[in-house]
Amino acid sequence: MRTLWRIISGPFRWCWRLLNFIREFILNLFLIFIIVVCVGIYLQLHRSAPEPGKGALLVDLTGVVVEKPSVNNKLRQIGRELLGASSNRLQENSLFDVVDMLRQAKSDGNITGLVLSLKDFAGADQASLQYIGKALREFRDSGKPIYAAGDSYNQAQYYLASFANKIYLTPQGAVDLHGLATNNLYYKSLLDKLKVNTHIFRVGTYKSAVEPFLRDDMSPAARDADSRWLGQLWQHYVDTVAANRQITSDQLFPGAQAMVAGLRSVDGDTAQFALANKWVDTVASRVAIEAEMTKAFGWNKQKNAFNAVSIYDYQTPRQPQKGGQIAVIFANGAIIDGPETPGSVGGDTTAGQIRDARLDPDVKAIVLRVNSPGGSVSASEMIRSELEAARTAGKPVVVSMGGMAASGGYWISTPANYIIASPSTLTGSIGIFGVINTFEDSLGSIGVHTDGVATSPLADLSMTKALPPEFSQMMQLNIENGYKNFITLVGKARNKSPEEVDKIAQGHVWVGSDAKTNGLVDQLGDFDDAVAKAAELAKLQQYYLNWYLDEPSLLDMVMSQTSAAVYAHLPVMIQAFLPVPAAQISALFSTQANAFPKLNDPQNRYAYCLTCGDVQ
């Protein structure tokens, strides 16, 4: 019997031991991985930067430039080296770190010039490009040369390249100048087919954020408003680049028909077309370009490349902290209730940071950097009231507007002593809306119905039933009251009557230059101007900036960088199974559809600009 039992139980014991071995092996591998990562991070954080030799600063930006990255530069560098996420075109680079490096390099004796290698640069909003361009111009004006080299340039890449003393293009390359466009998906017909009832509550002729639910195309009012600000953004782009290239705006972009004719005249050779239009200075092979860079900066035998240090490896010294402290607080992304999440402005988090700055005796002034399309009215009001309390406490408040400060982004800006916007900032969009979807008809079409009792029509709210008329009336009254409060706040802040504000409100989006004309901002400028104004109002002769940025923990960094590495490859793997047009449509739908789920106002009231961030 025992022999029989051994025969039967033997395979099971063997399988159990094998499973235990596999489990322990996997856990040990994971432990070794964590140890290696932690040791690597420690060495990266504590290593001393090697003394660079003379050569160029290689601006080889990868991904996008944003004002407030989810992970700071040092941790991104570790992620690039340990986890190989450097190819991710969604990698975020801090605008202010990039500008600081360019300004440091300007006065660094080891940096003798600058090379723009932007093939992996995915872009930034126009206000950020202008700020980087300002730093590039300062570098060039210091007497150090700037070269741009690339196989091709998209519009964002070419904007920065235009600040170079000399632009190189390879023989099969192109400069893609085509203009700007904004497109949204409209799904009224889809909602009708699905029998979804969308209840819209809004104030503002130009408040187009809800139009995708109401129409299958853009309304004439929205088309007129968007055409104006989009045309102005493009004109700002053309004027700047043309001035950099020392040609006229018409020479830079003569129009679609003239460009077709010009391309035909050179037999479709895009590189020669760019050369003939003076978009670039030299068409040459990579080998020839490298020879030119070697002539300018010398050859590094160890790296087998011309002498240069990547912007990701360039070390900037910590600035001495002297004088009064100016707090820099970011409102970057959609405004939501609760704590901050990556890519959004948490009402609780941002209001808490402003409160900390208000109560800190070392903080003498506050600069609120706003780059937001708006969002929750409740969260916007929480931030606004805290900013007003800081001003009332005697601390000057200056708002610096980035690429956009629209709707709720403008709401939170109203208490400032002074508002500075870029000429290409998208702002205004003063209006409020609410959206509630119900599915009673969708469910009814498949035989599912909802019924019950309630003590009041206002209690009988369900997404599976029609909205009670009394609730709809109260919701519209609430939205109208919110709009009245909005224009009253703006009027009080800008010394205008509510009637005067209403004429420039109604959800209308303005670029910074128009906003200055309409009295919505005080000055056209950039972040440097905002800091200088804050120091002036606080009467500070010497000052330093205290950046209110949350530093992630070691575990947060490891998990964030690991997920970034996975994310860099996963979408490509998924989209590989889709036809290219289907993958592009899927990405577009995802981008637009994801805007609304982030919004969580308890009263379903939103001050949000849908089209402000979707310019290509």
Residues designated catalytic: 207, 407
Helix (H, G, I), strand (E, B) or coil at 425: coil
Quick one: which of 364, 284, 366, 294 has its CA closest to 328?
Answer: 366
Pseudo-torsion of CA 71, 72, 77, 80, nearest 10°?
A: 10
User: Three-state DSSP class for 214?
Assistant: helix
Q: Give me the residues paired with residue 116 across strands.
A: 59, 148
Distance CA 34, CA 240 (A): 49
Residue 75 exposed, middle or buried by CB count within 10 Å (0-12, 13-18, 19+) = buried
Residues 6+ apart with CB under 8 A from 374: 334, 335, 380, 406, 407, 408, 409, 410, 411, 429, 606, 607, 608, 609
Cβ partners under 8 Å of residue 545, min gap 6: 325, 326, 328, 367, 531
- Show Cβ contacts of residue 569 under 8 Å, excluding neighbours closer than 6 positions: none
N- to C-terminal Cα separation, the chain: 79
- Distance separating alpha carbons of residues 544 and 319, to the nearest angstrom: 8
Report helix, strand or coil for 574: helix
Q: Which spans in 107-206 are helix H?
A: 126-141, 155-161, 188-193
Distance CA 439, CA 161 (A): 52
